[in-house]
Amino acid sequence: MSNRNRIILIIVAALAIGVIGFSAYFGLKSGNSSSYKEHIAEAEKYIEYEDYENAILAYERILEKDPDNVDAYLGIAECYAALGDIESAVGYLRQGYARTRSAKLDLALAEYEEELDGSGTTSKDDVDNKQGGTTVLLNTDAFRMFGGNNYNDYLRSGIESPVVSNQIANVRLQHVDATVHFTNTETQPDALDGTVINGDSYPYLIEVDNAMSLFGGGYSITYDVLSSLNLPDLRIVTHELYGNAVTFNYSGCIVTIESDSEGTVTFESRNSIVPEASLHAASELEDVKASVTGHVIDAQTGEGVPYASIAFHADNQVGVVMETVETESDGSYSVELEPGFYIAEVSCDEYVTIYSELDLGSAQTEEEKDFIITKETAEGEIRVVLEWGTYPNDLDSHMVINGTDVYFANKEFYSGGTLVAELDHDDVDGVGPETITLHDSSFSFRYFIHNFSRTGDIGVSGARVTIYLPGESPITVDIDSSISGDYWNVFTYENGQINIQNSAG
């Protein structure tokens, strides 16, 4: 993920000329006969993510069109109750009952009124614990970067100018709120030469601004929840600087985070991450091979592709082939590679061959890498495949054709009884793929991505969209990492022309 900008297929952000510039938001609001079903599906998915504010907005959109919709009143009341705001829940139910005289609303109203009389106050603690328990996930991409990157690797992924004083060089990372520190140590005596950082050296210390960014965000995390993540060597220790701290080893990092005496960590906790590579002399790191494992996955089914061939080229796609492997019957593969930069050429009968980069830092001993490939498209078909990193959990692809949005809540679009476009499935647990196929390329459309779960920023999601046209090389668009907000406008397709946007929506 750190090195995507090197790939040859990359499409640089281009200004789309003559593109209709309406905001991505209106794609969601576009009215049509199935919008009720879509809003219900949206609201239910928001509830799954405990994003009650957006669920309420989705129910309110139903009420705008249909003020007598009993399910929408009930849904809103449930959301407010989940937020601990029983008074608002009761308010909505009263309003709904006054309009509809529905027995269902009357019953719910009685239950909530009883709860309101009983407790009087809201149960914010319950809500916090609930959120803490379900949204916590290990930020594996960050740990992999901290454990594997030397100075050259950080340079490639983007840094600000190093600040050197007292023989310590502090390097601020771009796109990641963290500082990496370099200095000469016993194991790395040549890390710094005056103000110049040696490209092969590892930071002796890394600090993140927000300790919770290591766990997918949020306010705090208890020791119980940390324990549920199965972190190797996790324990509470006394620390000379922090007082109490939790410590664990993960992905080549020794991690220490300030905590209270019970081991609870908050977003403000001071922290230090030490890459184990910085503790070994350079000579010990030579001849260490990385074991790379993963799957080749079919973009439409999400299943492994058996007997696909992966050729690992050194440095670039016409470079020497260092290793070739074939996937097993479940689509899995494993290979041992020297540290370095590779282009993997993935091919299989009836599938479009892809080229994908693989960056193995010199301290890396394990790497997981999946490759997503898709069958050749038929004449007149266009297939668009979305993939991304571990965070956010849920990005959604949207293809808007003639004002109809094809997305998770409306997976198919028919015209005159013929299926024109379909979403294969909604990936909700990170990485992808999520694939939309347009069966009739005489239709124009625009394609955008929505950060549904918001468990991470879209700009650093590593999102990549690959556009497959029959008989042509696939076009790859990697998200511009400066994009913020919840929407990414990727491209439009009009009159047979693809116009890359790669802009915030």
Which residues are at the interface with Ca ion (CB under 5 A)?
394, 396, 426-427
Compute the distance between CA of residue 186 and CA of residue 452 in angstroms, rounded to an integer.
47
Q: Which residue is nearest to Ca ion (CB)?
A: 396
Tokens of 59: 């129910």
Q: Which is nearer to Ca ion, 345 or 396 (CB)?
A: 396
Nearest distance from residue 453's CB to Ca ion, in Å? 8
Compute the distance between CA of residue 393 and CA of residue 36 in angstroms, rounded to an integer.
25
Backbone dihedral region of 276: left (phi > 0), alpha (psi from -120 to 50 degrees) or beta? Answer: alpha
**Contact (Cβ atoms closer than 8 angstroms) between residue 355 and residue 390:** no
Q: Which is nearer to Ca ion, 344 or 409 (CB)?
A: 409
Compute the distance between CA of residue 14 and CA of residue 365 in angstroms, rounded to an integer.
38
| Residues 6 or more apart in contact with residue 265 via CB below 8 angstroms | 211, 212, 220, 221, 226, 246, 257, 258, 259
**Closest by CA position to 49, among listed 382, 449, 367, 426:** 426
Residue 219 carries which side chain, given as an amino acid letter? Y
Nearest distance from residue 24's CB to Ca ion, in Å? 15
Side-chain-side CA neighbours of 487 within 13 Å: the count stands at 15
**Closest by CA position to 494, among listed 12, 10, 18, 24:** 18
In order, the DSSP letters of 43-90 are HHHHHHTT-HHHHHHHHHHHHHH-TT-HHHHHHHHHHHHHTT-HHHHH
Nearest distance from residue 395's CB to Ca ion, in Å? 6
Q: How many residues does the chain have?
A: 505
Beta bridge partners of 489: 448, 503
Which residue in the block uniquely carries the two structure tokens 């490639």?
Answer: 156
**Closest by CA position to 74, among listed 37, 35, 102, 38:** 102
Nearest distance from residue 490's CB to Ca ion, in Å? 15
Distance of CA 106 to the CA centre of its chain: 42
Q: Which is nearer to Ca ion, 405 or 427 (CB)?
A: 427
Which residue in the block uniquely carries the two structure tokens 């009215």?
Answer: 31
Nearest distance from residue 204's CB to Ca ion, in Å? 40
Tokens of 29: 């609001």
Q: Which is nearer to Ca ion, 137 or 231 (CB)?
A: 137
Nearest distance from residue 428's CB to Ca ion, in Å? 5
Nearest distance from residue 413's CB to Ca ion, in Å? 18
Q: Which is nearer to Ca ion, 367 or 394 (CB)?
A: 394
Q: Give the chain's radius of gyration (CA, Å).
A: 25
Nearest distance from residue 61's CB to Ca ion, in Å? 20
Residue 64 carries which side chain, given as an amino acid letter? E
Q: Which is nearer to Ca ion, 345 or 394 (CB)?
A: 394
Nearest distance from residue 147's CB to Ca ion, in Å? 28
Nearest distance from residue 424's CB to Ca ion, in Å? 11
Beta bridge partners of 151: none
**Closest by CA position to 213, among listed 221, 203, 222, 202:** 221
Q: Rounded to the nearest 10 degrees, what angle do helices 70-82 and 52-65 cross at?
A: 160
Q: Which is nearer to Ca ion, 147 or 433 (CB)?
A: 433
Question: How many other CB atoms sit within 10 Å of the CB of residue 325?
Answer: 17
Nearest distance from residue 433's CB to Ca ion, in Å? 10
Q: Which is nearer to Ca ion, 128 or 426 (CB)?
A: 426
Q: Which is nearer to Ca ion, 49 or 182 (CB)?
A: 49
Q: Which is nearer to Ca ion, 210 or 301 (CB)?
A: 301
Q: Which is nearer to Ca ion, 54 or 183 (CB)?
A: 54
